Amino acid sequence: MAGVSDPQRYVLTFGCPDRTGIIARISGFLADHGGMIVEAAYHTDPDSGWFFTRQVVRADSLPFDAAGLRDRFTAVADELSTESSWQVLDTGERPRAVVLVSKAGHCLYDLLGRVASGELDVEISAVIGNHLALADITRAHGIPFHHVPFPSGGKAAAFAEVRKLVEEHDPHAVVLARFMQVLPAELCEAWAGRALNIHHSFLPSFVGARPYHQAHTRGVKIVGATCHYVTADLDAGPIIEQDVIRVDHGDSVEDMVRKGRDIEKVTLARGLRWHLEGRVLVHGNRTVVL
């Protein structure tokens, strides 16, 4: 994801079992086509033996577009490993996100502000809420708001409607901005690697509901937030980003909630940016952020 004045770039991310010659093969492939690499990062995980890389190439240095790069790199990826996982992002295509909300608005307000100021280059195609509390602020930013109630006994139909609305936009990210509903397994699978959640706890501590109340009871000295990918295992998906803030014995639950909101919105915005920039590589239930 590039700024308005930045030249168009292609972001290639790649992962496979480590072996000799991976970097040489990828850089050689790009060099053979005149590709100018302007950013490169590498990591090998000694525990899994897996290699990760993120390569950023000036689009105008290649004789083909992003689709052509994908077509040609397929053979390279297959040659390096049949287990490889990779993608090519085009910064010339503005990424799209759909945001799911309930009543708490601090994360949505923050994202809307960052987009409006140009700090976060993403098109928020729609906001979907199971309450109407955030409809006015969404529409004030010129973004469609869809109200999907979740009546008792009607959650399956509600989630089917949410899925329909989300997939109409084919988003690069589905952002659960304090959306207080647990995604069913079929949606977790359909949106795997695209659905991001902000959990108001420094996971894996205090999983589930009312984590600040749990933290207050335990007498913790820090509270935090975790941005992670959504999986069928509640609050246990691959972690993208985390942050904390200090609290003390004099803080009430309400104080913790207030302080925690500041951390939640910053952590979510940071995690979403890294996701859209292709910086987050997932392997199993862990991430590498390059």
Question: What residues are labeled active site?
Answer: 235
Q: What is the DSSP letter of 78?
A: H
H or E, element range at 29: helix 22-32
CA-CA distance, 12 to 86, in Å (whole number)? 7
**Could you tell me which of 144, 112, 215, 230 has the C-alpha nearest to residue 179?**
230
CA-CA distance, 181 to 155, in Å (whole number)? 9
Q: Which residues contact 253 (CB under 8 A, 6 or more apart)?
A: 212, 213, 216
H or E, element range at 173: strand 173-176
CA-CA distance, 162 to 122, in Å (whole number)? 20
